[in-house]
Amino acid sequence: MQKSGLMIGHFEPLHLGHIRSILHASSIVEILHIVITQHPNPNPRFPVTLQDKARWLQMACSDLPFIKIHTCDDFSFPVHDSIEDITINIDAYNAKIDYIQDKFAIDSDNVLLVTEGHPLSKPAVTSALNIEVTTTPLHPEFDSTAIHYNPIANWDIIHPEARGNYTRTVAIVGGESSGKTTLAHKLANYYGADLVLEMGRLYVGTDLGGTEEGLQYSDYGPIALDHAQAMRETMYQAQSPITLVDTDFVTTQAFCEEYEGRTHPFVTACIEEFRFDHTLFLANNTPWVDDGMRSLGSQSARERFEDRLTALFERHNIETHRITSPDYFQRYQEAIAYIDQHVFNK
């Protein structure tokens, strides 16, 4: 068994093929050094950082102390549609490998691990490299290029640690009694998706005794904080390419302005920090139902709140998709059509 091994890759996103290669490599060396580099052609729909990728691998390998994770933002290795397209510049590869070993103080007496069939494993190439080359099994069922450019279509083979960066958030917003919660639950069931519940309603139940009688300005910060924490936990454990969110921070701010007459700075910070990928804005033109926790039932109040919500989205430069049909089933169908087109590219 070699003392140490070196594996270099983009890991964008980390998928099960990567992990299987890593596990095989770690069985043939005592210490495996994984160096994560920048992807030369990032997917603009799914921006991730080197630190994101380091976290995925650190978490995936947290119980494997013989695997060491490093990040390198000084250069990137090229991406190719297939192994056959790869051409090797021996001097350039030697320089990069030497640089990596020096940068991370990796013992020079180690092996470079690549997949079977990689040009670096060909005898004519390995004889000219400054490092010994060992191969890991090729997993053709995991096409890293295809996964990178269309992670949604390859969701099942993205590693669970990376899925939080690839699930698309869809917020369902609107005024009181606009059908937000019912639609969110229907969509979550339709897609088998995760759902972040409306924190304001839960907070009233857990902290205010079930009514809004005691609701005051100081409660909007904790409501937003609870919402942010629920989002973090749900997205980290994302089971689906979409994560539904019942009510957003903008709506929380609109209620604060409506009831308290002023803007809450912490909620403003949450609006700017937690941006959703898509926002479905339900018109406030469905029948108003008094459930004991609603107070904006008059036509003028409903119109005023919708105008306030619209202005807040404009203030924060958030684009929304308006769903204006008063028919619940039509709203459901339009939401599905939007998600299918903008998330699943159907």
Give the C-alpha separation, 328 to 36, whole Å.
48
Q: Residues 162-193: pLDDT tens digits?
A: 999 999 999 999 988 889 999 999 999 999 99
Burial 278-303 (b: 16+ CB within 10 A, else e): bbbbbbbbbebeeeeeeebeeeebbe
Return the CATH fold of 168-342. Answer: Rossmann fold (3.40.50)
Who contacts 281 (Cβ-Cβ below 8 Å, separation ≥6)? Answer: 173, 174, 309, 310, 313, 320, 321, 322, 323
Q: What is the pTM of this model?
A: 0.89
Domain ranges of the chain: 2-157, 168-342
Q: Which pair of structure tokens corresponds to residue 12?
A: 């964008």
Pick the CATH number of 2-157 from 3.40.718.10, 3.30.70.100, 3.40.50.620, 3.10.580.10: 3.40.50.620
Per-residue pLDDT band at 296 (split at 50, 70, 90)? low
When pLDDT is cut at 50, 70 and 90, the band that residue 149 belongs to is: very high
122 contacts 53 by C-beta, under 8 angstroms: no
326 or 120, higher pLDDT: 326
Structure tokens at 274: 């937690």
Structure tokens at 3: 């003392």
For residue 156, is pLDDT > 80? Answer: yes
Give residue 261's pLDDT: 95
Residues 6+ apart with CB under 8 A from 341: none
- Report how far residue 342's alpha carbon sits from residue 20's, in angstroms, rounded to the nearest whole number: 32
Look at residue 221 in the predicted model and tell me its pLDDT. Answer: 96
pLDDT digit string, tens, across residues 47-104: 999 999 999 999 999 999 999 999 998 876 665 555 555 667 788 888 888 888 888 8
